[in-house]
Structure 1
Amino acid sequence: MVVGILTLTIPSSWNHHRRHCLRPTPPLIKCESGGVPLTKQAHRFFSSLTSTAAVDDLATANRLIKKFVASSPKSIALNALSHLLSPRNSHPHLSAIAFPLYTKISEASWYNWNPKLVADLVPLLDIQGFKSMVSSLCEMGQPNEAENVVEDMIKNGVKPSLFELRFVLYGYGKMGFFEDMERMVRKMEIEGFGVDTISSNMILSSYGAYNALPKMVPWLQKMKALEIPFSIRTYNCVLNSCPMIMSFVRGSGGFPVSVSELVNVLDEVEALLVKELVESSSVLDEAMEWDDLELKLDLHGMHSGSAYLIMLQWIEEMKSRFRVEECVVPAQITVVCGTGKHSSVRGESPVKTLIKAMMVQMKSPMRIDRKNIGCFIAKGQVVRNWLIQSLD
């Protein structure tokens, strides 16, 4: 995979006498790998596709493509397409959108048929055909046939991308063929694709689907050894598979209100999984914003088990910081859990219900915000006093 280093180049100032008759050239983001330089607008477009995971969501991708083409002048739209068609494209994970982007551009009133662009698209159609076959076979429960397609790609001189290898890996995992899944991990490494967070989450999800919890522990340890960061989905994959933790968060009774108390009541494997997760603070750090004005914990994207464990970690983090005399207490503390817009039953948030139950059991001073019912709020000093006095 060719990785480009992006640097911003601003065009030189315009001659005073031409300033009123010529439009400045859009700023370009140069790709030092040798790819087609990108305009800032095209770079923002690619970033929006990546940040919303639209590459894997055809409807979202088409909506963003339509909006980009409609709002961009000819030069910027063609710049984005040319970059995707470049052999040294610094966004290879977005190559799948080249054809739908071309299709939308060809519908624009300003477009004239360009034989070079069409010629550059043809090889991509072959690659997209392979990708479609691999993904379809895996969805049909035939990962072995999908792996054969990958081998055909290699024979035809097409280097498989991380996309195809991940699909085959997860295809084996969903079927419970763990030896083949682990073999694909080794194959990915041979092909030069290091295991990342996404691949790891696929593996953890596969183990969890077949209650293979003991296999999760060494994989989490491997992630830490390779410095692969945990994500919210890592938490979701692991904790959704832990029956005792799920019984706590779904039940109507009480539950442990500290990490140590939780570990003591879990069985050996679940306790090990929790210990592996909490030894890394990356997910908590990502979910938490702490400054003088506000301490905010955002639980969006977390399932109930993840929200529960992150809350326990968060409380311990607050206690640790508040014990230090020099710590500046934020004016307000907020927990964002949402209102259930994305829940299986719209308007009913399992996470909000869980957090409310935790607040009640711990006698927390935090209450639902009347201005935003998806949040719990309290004054920072009040929460500090509660933590120091009540939970020591």
Structure 2
Amino acid sequence: MEHIDGKILPVSLEMLGEARRLFDDFNARYSSNEKIVAVILGNNIKDFSKELIEYGADAVVCADHPELKDLRNTIHTKVISQIALDKEIASRIEPDYAKEFKKPRYIFFAADSIGRHLSSTVLVELESGLASDINKLVIHDMTVTHQIKTEGKPTLFKKTLEMYRPDFSGFLWTTILCLNNTTPSIKREYYPQGCSIIPGVFEPIKPDPKRSGEIIFYEPKIEENDLKVKVLSHKIVKSEVDFEIRKAVVSFGRGIKDAPDENIKLVVELAKQLDAEIGISLPISKKLLPASQAISSTYMIPARVIGTSGSKISPMLYVAIGISGAMQHIAGMQDSEFVVAINPDENSPIKNECDIFINGRMEDVIPLLVEELKKQQQVVQAG
């Protein structure tokens, strides 16, 4: 569970809420009593424990130590791995499963700058796999035939976590599985099944002050050798782009391809007239289209991505320019109050998601919109 300035980050509560929904169903289907455990590290953080239980945790393991005040990946990796493998902790959380406990069944991290790094190093320590930037989770029993893992034989894998993420096109889903090797010569278990979860994808549950749970205060085992890296100062760097402070967002996609520099300048001018922030679709952030350094470094950056691989927004006005409407992008802007789309393809999926669809090329449409907006502003100022 990540926290900054005395507050738990929204993404931590989001993935805790999704874990609660998954395991309410899981325990009902499998007639089990498995638990959701929130792990939190830091200094003077004990007050977070009750809040995490209110938001869905069955148990909280709190490692409160002066050396955990600032994030150092090596120490955080070590402590989280210690907690994940601790049989005594497992016995306190659910005695019925303590004897058979080896590792957690699943483990979630946030897909942010901290979680992406931490998830990879923790899963190495726990000797399992990792799926990154996930936006959908399903738990199923499934029969899989795999040439290496199962010797080509259909094999039932129970309680498998299906981890979905968008591919780079934005139109397809990739399903990632973390399966055991059942072939005798390479037999091996892979647990926990782990992933990092994109912020804004899931909703936290409504906190319930009446919820009860186990709170365990864990004393981390930190050695002198772990303290080679020291934090001399700590400064929080805000996001390059803040969509929350604007009532309008103008986004562009691969429709700029005929003349990237000139078309992005048109988008910028429209955004200026609307006092809007500028967003992009995921493929644009990969810089697959030629553009000048000044343009690409300012606008073709991951911080501007709208969708499941970026920000989830809800402005009063959303303008989608040259964006076809992949489901991953729609998930990020569908809470907008009013949506205008500009696209030369009248059959593009974005047409079904907007209030006004302008069938035309951005090069033709945007100058007309800008001209009309300027006229309207003059009328307002004159009045």
Give the structure-1-normalised TM-score.
0.27
The structure with more radius of gyration:
1
Higher helix share: 1
Which of structures 1 and 2 has the larger relative contact order (alpha carbons within 8 angstroms, sep 6+)? 2
